[in-house]
């Protein structure tokens, strides 16, 4: 492989691994917020325990996902300085807004939510997790706006050898954004719902003592996953119009890789929609008692992650050889002076670090799921008002 192919492979690997964290973060945030809303206004202690348990899984994934995002940012300067030189004034604008606005607000209010248990008034504490959710989706909006600019450089003109933004509104209403963003949001809801469904089915199949807890969790996961599946599939097909208009050769069969990923993504999305929205949702009341279905629910849990990666690859690889479609090629965007040895070394290092983070994330989440809500530590009061002795014993296991 030459230097260009190695640089592309490096970004594809790190981008795919990072997206695994992102899609789960976006999917779990509204689920946790809904659980806490039910607890705040209904007062059912089961909803409080659901908030703490699934919230702990959310925090684990969020914390490790931040580290993978830092590697992604680092690569723009390392391998793709030509992009910053040619279009940094345009491409950097939504990224800067995402970092300085949405992400900082998200992390600030997440900290308030994590450490505000039993300290903030209940409704103010609830507001924190909803702000976290809204700012997470605001981050997704700005990231997708930047990506849509690469797909279709709307609102920019070339002057003096670089792009300048002349119509900010055109960037925010880019046809490659308005259908892609709901598609990503739907995929995230599908992913978060499937994780909650799969973990709940695992405990119900094993007949653990937390039947009410995981019955409510399973039903909520099915509803959210069904909504996500329908949104993802619907807006996925809606993207055919703008893609055909602005990138007419994207799915012409010239890239076997693109067409294969695209086809499998559609297949997975359609199957999940049929199974969740048209089979599980109508029988949601009886589902917790149908043990024969629970292994199937567990088996489909990874499928939204697979579909998300395939969709991302189809969107990005199908744009080749352009980094900014019709304006800047990938070859011209690559940083000068890069060697095969340098890229290979960084590829191995980045893959090892991100791969390790993904494994750690999986192991921590799987351990949390396996131990169940009795071992959740998020929101447990400390000191004189702390957990009962039997509760403390469970936490120390």
Digit-coded pLDDT (tens) for 216-227 = 999 999 999 999
Predicted TM-score (pTM) of the model is: 0.93
Burial of 86 (0-12, 13-18, 19+ CB in 10 A): buried
- The 10s digit of each residue's pLDDT in 107-153 is 999 999 999 999 999 999 999 999 999 999 999 999 999 999 999 99
What are the residues whose beta carbons fall under 8 Å from the beta carbon of 314, sequence distance 6 or more? 258, 261, 262, 265
pLDDT at residue 36 in the model: 97
User: Higher confidence at residue 72 or residue 253?
Assistant: 72
Answer yes or no: is pLDDT of 35 > 70: yes
DSSP state for residue 102 in the 8-state scheme: I
pLDDT at residue 143 in the model: 94
Cα 158 to chain center, whole Å? Answer: 33
Give the model's confidence band at 59: pLDDT under 50 very low, under 70 low, under 90 confident, else very high. Answer: very high
Cα 260 to chain center, whole Å? Answer: 22
| Encoded tokens for 365 | 């989440």
**Distance between CA atoms of 200 and 208, rounded to whole angstroms?**
10
Please identify which residue in the block is written with the tokens 């099915």: 222
Mode of pairing for the β-strands spanning 322-324 and 156-159:
unpaired
**Distance between CA atoms of 63 and 25, rounded to whole angstroms?**
10
**Distance between CA atoms of 12 and 309, rounded to whole angstroms?**
10
Percent of the chain with pLDDT over 90: 70
- Mean pLDDT score, 307-318: 89
**Distance between CA atoms of 194 and 165, rounded to whole angstroms?**
40
DSSP output for 375-392: G--TT---GGG---HHHH
Answer yes or no: is pLDDT of 395 > 70: no
User: Higher confidence at residue 258 or residue 338?
Assistant: 338
Q: Which residue, among 287, 266, 265, has the nearest Cα to 276 in the 3D structure?
A: 287
- The 10s digit of each residue's pLDDT in 245-273 is 898 877 665 568 778 888 899 999 999 99
DSSP state for residue 120 in the 8-state scheme: S
Mode of pairing for the β-strands spanning 156-159 and 162-165:
antiparallel
Answer yes or no: is pLDDT of 371 > 90: yes
* Helices (H), ranges, the chain: 3-42, 45-79, 81-97, 104-115, 122-151, 168-172, 175-178, 180-205, 211-238, 240-246, 256-272, 294-299, 303-317, 330-333, 340-371, 389-395
pLDDT at residue 396 in the model: 30
DSSP state for residue 106 in the 8-state scheme: H
Question: How far is CA 122 from each of CA 38, 116, 126, rounded to the nearest angstrom?
Answer: 12, 9, 6
């Amino acid at each position: 492989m030459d230097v260009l192919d190695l640089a592309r492979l490096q970004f594809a690997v790190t981008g795919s691994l990072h997206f695994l964290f992102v899609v789960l973060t976006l999917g779990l945030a509204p689920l946790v917020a809904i659980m806490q809303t039910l607890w705040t206004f209904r007062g059912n202690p089961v909803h409080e325990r659901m908030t703490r348990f699934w919230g702990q899984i959310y925090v684990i994934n969020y914390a490790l996902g931040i580290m993978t995002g830092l590697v992604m940012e680092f690569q723009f300067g390392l391998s793709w300085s030509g992009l910053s030189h040619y279009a940094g004034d345009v491409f950097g604008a939504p990224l800067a807004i995402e970092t300085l606005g949405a992400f900082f607000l998200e992390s600030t209010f997440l900290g308030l939510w994590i450490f505000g248990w039993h300290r903030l008034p209940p409704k103010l504490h609830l507001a924190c997790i909803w702000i976290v959710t809204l700012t997470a989706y605001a981050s997704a909006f700005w990231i997708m706006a930047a990506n849509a600019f690469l797909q279709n450089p709307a609102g920019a003109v070339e002057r003096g050898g670089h792009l300048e933004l002349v119509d900010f509104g055109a960037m925010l209403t880019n046809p490659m954004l308005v259908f892609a963003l709901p598609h990503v949001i739907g995929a995230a809801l599908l992913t978060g719902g499937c994780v909650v469904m799969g973990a709940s089915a695992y405990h119900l199949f094993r007949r653990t003592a937390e039947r009410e807890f995981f019955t409510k969790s399973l039903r909520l996961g099915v509803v959210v996953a069904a909504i996500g599946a329908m949104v993802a599939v619907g807006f996925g097909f809606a993207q055919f119009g703008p893609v055909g208009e602005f990138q007419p050769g994207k799915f012409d069969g010239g890239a076997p890789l693109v067409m294969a990923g695209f086809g499998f993504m559609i297949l997975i999305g359609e199957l999940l929609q049929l199974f969740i929205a048209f089979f599980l949702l109508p029988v949601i009341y009886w589902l917790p008692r149908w043990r024969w279905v629970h292994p199937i629910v567990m088996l489909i849990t990874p499928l939204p992650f697979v579909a998300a990666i395939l969709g991302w690859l189809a969107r990005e690889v199908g744009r080749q050889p352009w980094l900014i479609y019709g304006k800047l090629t990938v070859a011209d965007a690559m940083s000068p002076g890069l060697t095969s040895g340098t890229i290979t070394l960084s590829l191995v290092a980045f893959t090892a670090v991100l791969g390790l983070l993904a494994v750690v994330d999986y192991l921590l989440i799987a351990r949390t799921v396996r131990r169940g809500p009795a071992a959740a530590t998020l929101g447990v009061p400390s000191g004189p008002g702390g957990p009962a002795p039997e509760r403390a014993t469970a936490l120390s296991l």
